[in-house]
Amino acid sequence: MDVERFHVYDTTLRDGAQQEGLSMSVQDKLAISRLLDELGVGFIEGGWPGAVPRDTEFFQRARTELDLSTATLVAFGSTRKAHAAAADDELVRALLNAHTPVVTLVAKSHVGHVERALKTTLSENLEMIRDTVSFLVGEGRRVFLDAEHFFDGYRSHPDYSLDVVHAAVDAGAEVVVLCDTNGGMLPDDVRSVVSEVSDATGARLGMHAHNDTGCAVANSLAAIDAGASHVQGTINGTGERTGNADLITVVANIELKRSQQVLPAGALPEASRIAHAIAELSNLVPYSRQPYVGSSAFAHKAGLHASAIKVDPDLYQHTDPSEVGNDMRMLVSDMAGRASVELKGRELGFDLSNDHDLVTRVTRRVKELEAAGYTFEAADASFELLLREEAGEERTRFFDVESWRVITESRPDSEAVSEATVKLRAGGERAVVTGEGNGPVNALDHALRTAIGTLYPEIDKIELIDFKVRILDAAHGTDAVTRVLVEMTDGASSWETVGVGANVIEASWAALVDGVNYGLLHQDLDRLTS
Amino acid sequence: MDVERFHVYDTTLRDGAQQEGLSMSVQDKLAISRLLDELGVGFIEGGWPGAVPRDTEFFQRARTELDLSTATLVAFGSTRKAHAAAADDELVRALLNAHTPVVTLVAKSHVGHVERALKTTLSENLEMIRDTVSFLVGEGRRVFLDAEHFFDGYRSHPDYSLDVVHAAVDAGAEVVVLCDTNGGMLPDDVRSVVSEVSDATGARLGMHAHNDTGCAVANSLAAIDAGASHVQGTINGTGERTGNADLITVVANIELKRSQQVLPAGALPEASRIAHAIAELSNLVPYSRQPYVGSSAFAHKAGLHASAIKVDPDLYQHTDPSEVGNDMRMLVSDMAGRASVELKGRELGFDLSNDHDLVTRVTRRVKELEAAGYTFEAADASFELLLREEAGEERTRFFDVESWRVITESRPDSEAVSEATVKLRAGGERAVVTGEGNGPVNALDHALRTAIGTLYPEIDKIELIDFKVRILDAAHGTDAVTRVLVEMTDGASSWETVGVGANVIEASWAALVDGVNYGLLHQDLDRLTS
């Protein structure tokens, strides 16, 4: 695998950071750079020194704090101002001071943008490209050129867009990256434009795609088919508007579907871990439907297929999930059979293949509970507790609830308030505790924490982060059965539990109790194993 | 625009419902069907009657409750069991009993799946297809055939996969839909397979794509380029694993990038509103980066571009957002603009075009409320009440609430019970009433009915049939703002209202009160007009 033969170029830290509501500290950017290096990308575009103070600081600290093994760090910037010398341009100087082996320059390649946005002449724009590229090359930098709005520009004035490519190459640019800046292209058009430009200029070409037509990945592949040997993208497809091409999806398609290795051997199986870690660092909720690395990417509704999946999983998955460090997951759902319970157990680390009776008992209980309105599809934690209970484990319940009551009251001109009283026994002691909250579940949550906090101080680590409520039998409205899904986290991992009841508070309480028990149980297990 | 020349086929209610954690009530499915008809899709695949009880009920109720203008309703099912007659097959009978003009049959077209999953002979599988298709055609149904795992099957045994296409067509199937069931295909391979199959069989072909390689949209377009004239997908790309092709993205690409009209004139600008309403009904958080309809799809980080965008927005967007009912700025929802308020008003029977001030006031209030967490996309009734209030109508509030309190209690070995006390003034009288219920909202509902029942006996006709709860800021779990959507019916029609509050009971109460007021108002209006 030769990182120079094909460039896997990551711009998560620069173009990816353009995403609405996303902000990364210098610390985050350094941590993400290390993860990108683990993934084995060839180039990491770190930001725009000079223009963005945080990026200037990033490149300063990178010199001492980053020790990259595979990746080459890249500083991004713009061609010099009109009618001035690159050598005197403050922002061009800032690019030199970033001390990166590679500099990527963005340049206009669309007549309309030169005239109406940049407001200079077509010839001056070409001169800005020649001057800036050759100055940086003269200073010993490798230079890549991002040809902004290239595809739209080529459509309106192909000759000028080609002049831009020639100007860059003649001045010493190694790669000219054709950018679909507005993201409106479709694969066929990308393929034809890239091959025409390749034939007309012989330049080494790259592709920078956005997802506005839902085709960023396909457009990147089309460009590669047409001869591009440099592809830009971001981890998790972050970016402005609909985002950039998802680099992991592009690379996984190239390696797994086209059998062309573009990452170091053994790197791709790290993709899921790295994608999730970068999502965490960027404070993004991971997208469950994300190709290859999403938590649902290899999830199957059990039911009919389960037995066939046991026989031959390849019948039902387009690739082996371990190729990208993901796992096949079985969703225990309606029509749950023995096969799916067994598969689900294995997934949670329980080998049930030799315990026929246990599988029978668990399957029966799952079916009973599902008939009553439960669903374990999005509630692995409740399923695991059920499994452990049926397996006869004792340490699954950390307290016994006696009774609870919650009052919610609304007075004129004041927000409604809730007050909950919980009576339970924990560790032989009886507790009667009252908690307040801005909602009934919140009040119950507070009361429960107070009631068991002394005995189980680790409860402080456990937080309720989401709950969802569904009415199951719409025909009867509020008379109907209610299903509540609760999600909790201990900071390191998160888990979901389910509760069902005619009363929404009762259902919420059941899910809440399951969630707390699961959290305490796993903190116990962690202690035992560490 | 001829819906028969090109089939826009929606499977949100069937394959889309396979998504992890997604569950739709029959009520949801009926509401979504109406929205799909507004979007102008040609076909709505409603579910699998016989196999899924909820779907059986959906088709029963659809006959009386659905009045579709553009779309044709489709029942989905499987070919008959091996070694039996289609006429005697219980599930095939269930398809007939769904009484839909079109039936889509799924059939195996992959040798490995016939032998290892279906566990029958290749010839019997062909016989199952011939028998089931011709039986249904004989019963007067139009039949489409979903050829499951077609692309993987064609790769391993092309001749057999072609036999399947021939068998279906010879037996009378109108369209054979090539399914990338495992979602592992890339556009080039799709294009070549579809054109080979088209040349070899001359059959009318369709495409069913999944997004496991991030290419579902591009694969759909590639199939169409290769001659497919039927495309399947789901709204918001919901579906198993990474989801199905996003039907709106596919259609928008065809209409806006290929200038080929496949929806009724004027339908595409409704796409954003409809996509968001369906997300609400499915209790899904809308995906901000979704192409065309996402809240970020046309959002720009001002910065450098700002002034240039003012001069010439087309320099920075790949299409005019109004083409898909989206907006260049960040939207809280599709309602947030004057134009959409006017449009929505007209839809509800109010001509606002001559009342500039009213539109301004309504738009301002909608924006304020949306900033507080309200959404009117799936709550027309609340929007209408707001509109009537701003228009100065007096008859929109039938009672004034003073205060309310609800207690929910759970004792050992007994179901939780709720008791609500409501204090209000109606028709000059003050009422202090207590109601019981099996949940807090149910108890409040009962108390409210008792309090106003004497004055407004027509309340008995109004029933609460569904409510949904959404936590808006998951980061804070139960501390977060809660949004409740309530659906009510008077038997003849149904309407949805929205309530927001830090307290889930408070939010539910607000939606409940809106819903009752709307119901009473319209019974008044009906009396006046009849």
Q: Are strands A417-426 and A400-410 parallel, antiparallel or unpaired?
A: antiparallel
Please report which confidence band the pLDDT of residue B334 belongs to, taking 50, 70 and 90 as the band edges. very low
H-run or E-run covering A10: strand A7-10
- Is residue B476 over pLDDT 50? no
Cα(A302)–Cα(B470) distance, rounded to whole angstroms? 27
- Is residue A512 over pLDDT 80? yes
pLDDT on residue B337? 62
CB < 8 Å to B509, chain A: 410, 416
Please report which confidence band the pLDDT of residue B332 belongs to, taking 50, 70 and 90 as the band edges. very low
Hey, are the CB atoms on A187 and B467 less than 8 Å from each other? no
DSSP string, A41-109: -SEEEEE-TTTSHHHHHHHHHHHHH---SS-EEEEEEEPPPTTS-GGG-HHHHHHHHTT-SEEEEEEE-
**Nearest CB to A418; choose among B25, B308, B503:** B503
Which residues pair with residue B234 across a beta bridge? B246
CB < 8 Å to A216, chain B: 214
Percent of chain B surpassing pLDDT 70: 92
CB neighbourhood size of B407 (10 A): 17
How high is the ipTM of this complex?
A: 0.77
A252, B184 in Cβ contact below 8 A? no
Q: Are strands A102-108 and A72-78 parallel, antiparallel or unpaired?
A: parallel
- Structure-block tokens of residue A255: 């390696």
Nearest CA to A512 out of A373, A381, A392 is that of A381
- The pairs formed by B94-98 with CB atoms below 8 angstroms and a separation of 24 or more are B94/B49, B94/B50, B94/B51, B94/B56, B95/B49, B95/B50, B95/B136, B95/B141, B96/B136, B96/B139, B96/B141, B97/B49, B97/B50, B97/B59, B98/B46, B98/B49, B98/B56, B98/B59
End-to-end CA separation in angstroms for chain A: 39
pLDDT on residue A466? 76
By C-alpha distance, the chain B residue nearest A225 is B188
Cα(B404)–Cα(B397) distance, rounded to whole angstroms? 17
- Cα A398 to chain centroid distance, Å, stands at 34
pLDDT on residue A472? 67
Please report which confidence band the pLDDT of residue A342 belongs to, taking 50, 70 and 90 as the band edges. confident
Please report which confidence band the pLDDT of residue B477 belongs to, taking 50, 70 and 90 as the band edges. very low
Over A475-510, what HEC string results? HHHHHCCEEEEEEEECCCCEEEEEEEECCHHHHHHH
Interface probe for A, chosen from B215, B220, B472 (most Cβ of A below 10 Å), is B215
Sheet holding B417-426, edge to edge: A429-437, A417-426, A400-410, B400-410, B417-426, B429-437
Least confidently predicted of A372-381, A489-498, B480-489:
A372-381
Least confidently predicted of A243-257, A325-339, A434-448:
A325-339
Q: Is B402 near chain A, with CB under 8 Å?
A: yes
Cα(A158)–Cα(A174) distance, rounded to whole angstroms? 21
pLDDT on residue B340? 67
End-to-end CA separation in angstroms for chain B: 39
- Is residue B330 over pLDDT 50? no
Percent of chain A surpassing pLDDT 70: 94
Helix, strand, coil fractions of chain B, as percent rounded to 5: 45, 20, 35
Which comes out higher in pLDDT, residue B378 or B170?
A: B170
- A276 class by beta-carbon count within 10 Å (0-12 exposed, 13-18 middle, 19+ buried): buried
Mean pLDDT of B378-387: 88
Hey, are the CB atoms on A440 and B504 less than 8 Å from each other? yes
Q: Is A292 near chain B, with CB under 8 Å?
A: yes
- Is residue A345 over pLDDT 90? no
Nearest CA to B466 out of B441, B444, B448 is that of B441
Least confidently predicted of A64-78, B318-332, B359-373, B511-525:
B318-332
Residue A249, φ and ψ in degrees, nearest 5? -65, -45
CB < 8 Å to A18, chain B: 301
A222, A194 in Cβ contact below 8 A? yes
Q: Is A300 near chain B, with CB under 8 Å?
A: yes
Q: In this predicted model, what pLDDT tens digit does every residue of B194-216 receive, in sequence order?
A: 999 999 999 999 999 999 999 99
pLDDT on residue B307? 47
Please report which confidence band the pLDDT of residue A365 belongs to, taking 50, 70 and 90 as the band edges. confident
Please report which confidence band the pLDDT of residue A474 belongs to, taking 50, 70 and 90 as the band edges. very low
Q: In this predicted model, what pLDDT tens digit does every residue of A442-463 receive, in sequence order?
A: 999 999 999 999 999 999 999 8
Least confidently predicted of A75-84, A191-200, B16-25, B32-41:
B16-25
- Structure-block tokens of residue A53: 């103070």
H-run or E-run covering B125: helix B122-138
The one-letter code for the residue type at B269 is P
The one-letter code for the residue type at B159 is D
Which residues pair with residue B231 across a beta bridge? B8, B207
DSSP H helices, A314-414, are: 338-347, 356-371, 380-390
pLDDT on residue A475? 42
Q: Are strands A230-233 and A175-179 parallel, antiparallel or unpaired?
A: unpaired
pLDDT on residue A340? 75
**Cα dihedral value B194, B195, B197, B202, nearest 10:** 120
CB < 8 Å to B479, chain A: 438, 442
Least confidently predicted of A295-304, B86-95, B189-198:
A295-304
Cα(A499)–Cα(A369) distance, rounded to whole angstroms? 10
Which comes out higher in pLDDT, residue B100 or A504?
A: B100
Which comes out higher in pLDDT, residue A7 or A470?
A: A7
Cα(B425)–Cα(B432) distance, rounded to whole angstroms? 9
Write out residues 79-108 of B within 8 Å (CB-CB) of A: none
SS3 A523: helix
- Is residue A478 over pLDDT 70? no
Residue A366, φ and ψ in degrees, nearest 5? -60, -45
CB < 8 Å to A501, chain B: 415-416
| Rg, C-alpha atoms of chain B | 26
Please report which confidence band the pLDDT of residue B23 belongs to, taking 50, 70 and 90 as the band edges. confident
pLDDT on residue B352? 86
- Is residue A523 over pLDDT 90? no
Hey, are the CB atoms on A471 and B25 less than 8 Å from each other? yes
User: In whole numbers, what is the pLDDT of chain A averaged over residues?
Assistant: 90
pLDDT on residue B475? 43
Q: Is B241 near chain A, with CB under 8 Å?
A: yes
Mean pLDDT of B83-108: 97
Residue A484, φ and ψ in degrees, nearest 5? -120, 130
Instruction: State the nearest Cα–Cα gap between B406 and chain A, in angstroms.
Output: 5
In order of start, what are the domains of chain A with their CATH numbers? Answer: 7-281 (3.20.20.70), 299-385 (no CATH), 399-455 (3.30.160.740)
Please report which confidence band the pLDDT of residue A414 belongs to, taking 50, 70 and 90 as the band edges. confident
**Cα dihedral value B123, B128, B130, B134, nearest 10:** 160
**Nearest CB to B405; choose among A285, A409, A415:** A409
Helix, strand, coil fractions of chain A, as percent rounded to 5: 45, 20, 35
Instruction: State the nearest Cα–Cα gap between B355 and chain A, in angstroms.
Output: 32
Write out residues 326-345 of A within 8 Å (CB-CB) of B: 331, 334
By C-alpha distance, the chain B residue nearest A289 is B242
Q: Is B57 near chain A, with CB under 8 Å?
A: no
Q: In this predicted model, what pLDDT tens digit does every residue of A303-334 receive, in sequence order?
A: 556 667 777 888 889 999 999 988 877 666 55
- Structure-block tokens of residue A148: 């902004």
Which residues pair with residue B45 across a beta bridge? B74
pLDDT on residue A62? 97
- Is residue A161 over pLDDT 90? yes
pLDDT on residue B50? 92
SS3 B305: helix
Interface probe for B, chosen from A408, A430, A494, A496 (most Cβ of B below 10 Å), is A408
